[in-house]
Chains A and B, each alone.
Chain A
Amino acid sequence: MKGLFGLMVGMLISLSAVAQSQLFGFVHDAETNEPLPGAVVSIHELNRSQLTDLEGKFRFENIRPATYHMHISSLGYKAQTLIKITGPDTKKLEVRLEPTILELSEIVVESNHYKVGPKEQTLPMEILDAEYLAKNRKGTFVNSIENIPGVSAINTGVGISKPVIRGMSFNRVIVNDKGIKQEGQQWGTDHGLEMDMFEPGRVEVIKGPGSLMYGSDGLGGIINVFPPSVPQNQMIEGNVQGIYKSNNNLIGTSTVVQGKVKDWVYRGRFSTQDFEDYEVPASDFTYNGYLLPIYNDRLKNTAGNERNFSLMTGIKKNWGYSTITVSNFHQKAGLFVGAVGIPRSFQLTHDGSYGNIDIPRQETKHLKIISNSNILVGQRWVEVDLGYQRNKREEHSDPTAHGRQIGPDGSLEHGLDLQTLTANARYFWHSSEDHMRVIGFQSQYQWHNWDGFAFLLPEFSSANLGLFVYEEYSWANKFTATGGLRFDLANRDISAYSESDEENFFQYNGNIDRNYYNFSGALGLSYYPNENLNAKINLGTSYRVPTANELSINGLHHGTFRYELGNSTLTTERGLQMDFVFNYQRKDFSFVITPFASYFKNFIYLSSTSEFSSGFNPFVPAESGQIYQYLQHDAIFSGTEIAIEYHPLEKLHWRAAYEYVYNYNLDTKLPLPFTPPGSLYTELEYGFDIEKGWIEGVHLGANVKRVFDQNRVDRNERTTPGYWLLGVNTGFDFSIGSNTTIQATFSAQNLLNSNYFNHLSRYRLLNLPEQGRNFVISLRIPFAIQ
């Protein structure tokens, strides 16, 4: 990997003696024609940005002839993207920014990986910046984006959550961190997304089929996570963030230091989280016909901690940039004592501490080494993302509770160790400013080992290779057509596993070595007759190669309370997905509706059998229950999101978002499991400035979430009643010194301490209510050394 990196850098340096030019121009207000000072002008390909001067001017020197994507943004204006092909006679750029008071329009809305702008992108996309993420921070990265329409979270307690997009989760949502698909053990309900909630600087949520550009698994959607932009100034700067939550005494901190020395940039971050058992608005719960106690209303053994770091360094030149990031996520999280096996009253007595992490618990480490480069080859850009990641997941429980002796593995029930190598490349080819072609290559190789006293998933290796071409063509200043084709090859090589003792022999799975291939494609059209209106349609195919667990899992999985059985005959799951976007926008109002409808062939799901595991596997612990086997049949999905934002006054912000998903398994004639209920979220916020004193800006807000009943459930899945949640927040900025502004926010979540069940929670199966009232204080203190 290092060799390849070196080769590329070398290749560029040898090319560096070519003609230079410059990119310059000015930015002004489209309504008043006044120059706009302080607007941010950045060149995407070079990771360089500037602020316009008092006359609204900017100038980038030492620019090579090539195609550049420029982003221009300023507070109070709609962000803009320009595609500029520079040459020796490049003219002055004139940028006119339209005023807006809609916060989301102020963020640069361009999909980073493919540089597809907001109008040209034919799938629905949401962009979230660091400010949004900080304001919605809840304890995990996934929970901070769950109020986006179409996005939900599957939670296990408060520290473990995984993303759901349009009712799809597990291996049907791709999370790309810096362009590398995150590979943990996504298939497990109680396996959270391994990501530091303080790290993302920008997040894109693409809803709908992402298979064309992102490969297998992108059925529900894509979450692209990006770090904050690299430092632009020759100084050492950074910030310290702290968060406290009253419900489980959570203390989180994150410290970041970054800087630039000539062309070299660097950043380091260290984050921590420590939390105790969380409190629920109940002193008992009903399970198995027993009324079981919750001591002092706190769920025993739900404490946890996190220690995460990331280190980045890189170089920025006029041929592009290259960065390398090493990061590690380390979480230790207790599971509610009753969550493994049938909860018993004697296990639930208080153990004297709310902060200890006993068994059952899980410990997850996720190491990533990611290199991102954007390199000018001739006059065109090549982006290369390389990655190595290692996910080590340990699930600890008491072996004697499973009818086994304490052996060499101690309390380690499942130790899963997955390593993944990834190499992706994209070549951008513009024939004109109206036409873009991307030729891409994606590859991934992974291998898995395991230990622990109980078998779940065998050793395996897996490989994927994909080639695609994507075209974008705009005409008449009101149409953009997009389309693409892709070919993929995949292999799953799974080792046989058996277990035996004096009396019994059991073959869990035989050797499985299978190849899969797939063709996919997409076509889209975007129509934008004027500044206010944008309508889009996208028709795409998506696919997903069966995962190793679907082919070969064989054991009791506590995440679902079931005995799960793989199926080695599964074939590729394919989807035909239709997506629509209708967007109407004015200066102070926006309305977006995004309906979708999809048909899936060979959709893979866990189907209940009429068999008990006791009659099947002689090594299974008692109470392992019913066998669920992976089967595949056709299914349909459909639904919509609606989002409205309105500012009756400039300082008064109102937003409402609705989401609904409908799905149907054409074989069982029942809905699919883990379908999020419909919900309505609304928030009202008032912000004002105080000119005197040390307090600068103040905001006050309230939000209400109404989640409807979920009565459409799969066989053996329980219905969940709806609920209301109320939250409030306030915050202000205050300055100390001339350059330091501290941001402080206070919020209350579940203010009414409502007792409710989350249909997607792992603990729903235990009839346990969700976390009660929570007061949150967070602070952000920046610093800089000149």
Chain B
Amino acid sequence: MKKTKVWIMAALALPFVYSCDDDDSVDTTAPTITLEDPVAGESFAAGGTLDVHCDLTDDINLATYSITVHDNFDSHSHGRTLANFNYDQSFTVEGTSAHVTQEISVDATSTAGPYHFIMQAIDAAGNATSFEDASSVEIEIWLTNQTMAHVDFTDQGGTKISELEGVVDQSLSIYGKVEDESGTLDHVLVVVGHLEAESGDGHSHGRTREEEIFEKEFEVEGQASVSLAELLANESIVVSQAELDELETGEHLYLIVTATDADGNISRGTIEIHFD
């Protein structure tokens, strides 16, 4: 029996013998990224440059950062003579803090539309920023080109406006046009809702389309110019007080008109809707 007792004691003690504490000096902290340029929603012209300005820091030593730009077109885009712009490069960097700049040339033949701009960083120990905790940075930017369509908002008389006046519980009066000067249109999406990337941190709340107050896509294939008033002639877009109350502080309602042309270019016009 004595022998057994010794075994039991040894057996019980063993897991604890190994349970030495982890070394506190192990570097497990990922770098931080503070992106100055570009900012969410910013537009860049195809054929021009996209300037990146960013501060990187790490507690021990930085190693690498990467910049990725790729399209954020959903499955709607089709048929094109242009190419979606793609950029994916990584660069080495040293020290505990660095201000990095890159000048990215945007191909002249790039399709216009929304793109994701992504920055990630890794330190010398292999600690990486991640999407899980949003320490990697991702924002939406827009590329523009010469051949994309343009959206103009006007009043009934054809004068450009900078804000749309709305009345609660009454149908909105929308005027303006979507025009493609160098080709034809394919479809136009009209949304009344909040604008992506509106909140201060550059991140949207990613609401689903079902939650938009109004959303409708219009096929306008082959046309060079369409009037918003004609497009929405059979629609009644009404904003209720309850819907206004749902907005968070500082959030506004927007009319968002997104036009896709026959070449696959996506362009967007937005205007804030003002309610008294």
Determine the residue in chain B with the shortest Cβ distance to A595: B11
Q: Does A767 contact B (CB under 8 A)?
A: yes
Q: Contacts A349-B210, A595-B15, A597-B14 known; A622 to B86 CB distance under 8 Å? A: yes
**Min CB gap A521→B, angstroms:** 21
| B residues 1-35 touching A (CB-CB < 8 Å) | 1, 3-4, 7-8, 10-12, 14-15, 17-20, 22-23, 26, 28, 30
B74, A626: Cβ atoms closer than 8 Å: no
Closest to A662 in B: B19
Q: How far is the CA of A92 from the CA of B17 in the complex (A)?
A: 52
Interface segment among A383-391, A663-671, A741-749: the answer is A663-671
Q: How far is the CB of A350 from chain B (nearest CB, A)?
A: 8
Give Cα distance in the complex from A765 to B26, angstroms. 23
A403 to B18, CA, bound (A): 48
A595-B11, A608-B128 in contact; A288/B134 too (CB < 8 A)? yes
Known: A668-B26, A716-B126. A614 touches B14 (CB 8 A): no
Identify the interface centre among B11, B133, B204, B210: most chain A CB within 10 Å of its CB: B11
Residue of A nearest to B196 (CB): A345
Contact A288 B138 (CB under 8 A): yes
Q: How far is the CB of A170 from chain B (nearest CB, A)?
A: 21
Contact of B130 among A291, A345, A716 (CB under 8 A): A716
Q: Would you call B205 an interface residue if the criterion is a C-beta within 8 Å of the partner chain's C-beta atoms?
A: yes
Interface extent on B, as a size class?
35 or more
| Smallest beta-carbon distance A475→chain B, Å | 15
Residues on B with C-beta less than 8 A from A345 are 204, 206-208
Residues in A with CB closer than 8 Å to B70 are 403, 622-623
Q: Which of A349, A609, A671 contacts B208 (CB 8 A)?
A: A349
Partner of B138, one of A342, A595, A660: A342
Smallest CB gap from B66: residue in A: A612
Min CB–CB distance A567 → chain B (angstroms): 15
**Bound Cα distance from A715 to B124, whole angstroms:** 12
Whether B36 sits at the interface, judged by CB under 8 Å, is no
The answer to the question of B89 belonging to the interface, with a C-beta cut-off of 8 Å to chain A, is: yes
Contact A610 B122 (CB under 8 A): yes
B270: interface (CB < 8 Å): no
Which residues A572-599 have CB closer than 8 A to chain B?
A: 578, 580, 582, 593, 595-597
Q: Is the CB of A535 within 8 A of B23?
A: no
User: How many Å from the CB of B256 to the closest CB on chain A?
Assistant: 14
Within 8 A of A (CB), among B66-103: 66, 68, 70, 72, 74, 86, 88-90
Contact, CB under 8 Å: B28 / A527? no
Assess whether B131 is in contact with A342, with CB atoms less than 8 Å apart.
yes
Interface residue? A293 (CB, 8 A): yes
- Do B204 and A290 have beta carbons less than 8 Å apart? yes
Partner of B126, one of A344, A582, A609: A609
Do A638 and B14 contact each other (CB < 8 Å), given the known contacts A288-B134, A348-B208?
A: yes
Q: Which residues of A contact B90 (CB under 8 A)?
A: 611-612, 614-615
Decide yes or no whether A380 CB sits under 8 A from chain B.
Answer: no
Across the interface, B15 reaches (CB within 8 A) one of A403, A535, A615, A662, namely: A662
Q: Evaluate contact between A712 and B205: CB separation under 8 angstroms.
A: no
Q: Judge whether B208 and A295 touch: CB under 8 Å.
A: yes
Give the chain B neighbours of A608 by CB distance below 8 A: 122, 126-128
One of B15, B89, B132 near A614 (C-beta < 8 A): B89
Q: CA–CA, A769 to B186, complex, Å?
A: 41
Chain A residues lying within 8 Å of B210, measured Cβ to Cβ, are 349
Chain A residues with CB under 8 A of B207: 293, 345
How many chain A residues sit at the interface, stated as a range, is 35 or more
Report whether B128 and A625 are in contact in the complex, using a CB–CB cutoff of 8 Å.
Answer: yes
A287 at the interface (CB under 8 A from B): yes
| B residues in contact with A346, CB < 8 Å | 74, 209
Residues of chain B within 8 A (CB-CB) of A344 are 72, 74
Among A537, A623, A638, A664, the one with the most B-chain Cβ atoms within 10 Å of its Cβ is: A623
A419 vs B133: C-alpha distance when bound (angstroms): 41
- Whether B118 sits at the interface, judged by CB under 8 Å, is yes
- Residues from chain B with a CB closer than 8 A to the CB of A596 are 14-15
B1 to chain A, nearest CB (A): 7
Q: When each residue 600-619 of chain A gets 1 if its CB lies under 8 Å from chain B and 0 otherwise, what string results?
A: 00000001111110110000
A290 touches B15 (CB 8 A): no
Q: How many Å lie between the Cα of A346 and that of B11 in the bound state?
A: 56
Residue B223 at the A interface, CB < 8 A? no
Seen from chain B, the residues whose Cβ lies within 8 Å of a Cβ on chain A are 1, 3-4, 7-8, 10-12, 14-15, 17-20, 22-23, 26, 28, 30, 63-64, 66, 68, 70, 72, 74, 86, 88-90, 118, 120, 122-128, 130-134, 136, 138, 201, 203-210
A-side residues, CB < 8 A to B, are 287-293, 295, 342, 344-349, 403, 527, 529, 533, 535, 537, 578, 580, 582, 593, 595-597, 607-612, 614-615, 622-623, 625-626, 636, 638-640, 660, 662, 664, 668-671, 712, 715-716, 718, 765-767
28 contacts between A and B (CB under 8 A): A287-B131, A288-B131, A289-B138, A345-B204, A348-B208, A349-B208, A349-B210, A529-B1, A533-B4, A535-B4, A580-B14, A582-B8, A593-B12, A608-B128, A610-B125, A610-B126, A612-B90, A615-B64, A622-B86, A623-B70, A623-B118, A626-B120, A636-B18, A638-B15, A638-B19, A639-B15, A640-B15, A765-B132
Q: Which 5 A-B pairs have the closest CB atoms?
A: A289-B134, A608-B126, A580-B11, A610-B63, A612-B90
Given A636-B18, A712-B22: 7 more A-B contacts, CB < 8 Å: A345-B207, A535-B8, A608-B127, A612-B120, A615-B89, A640-B15, A664-B22
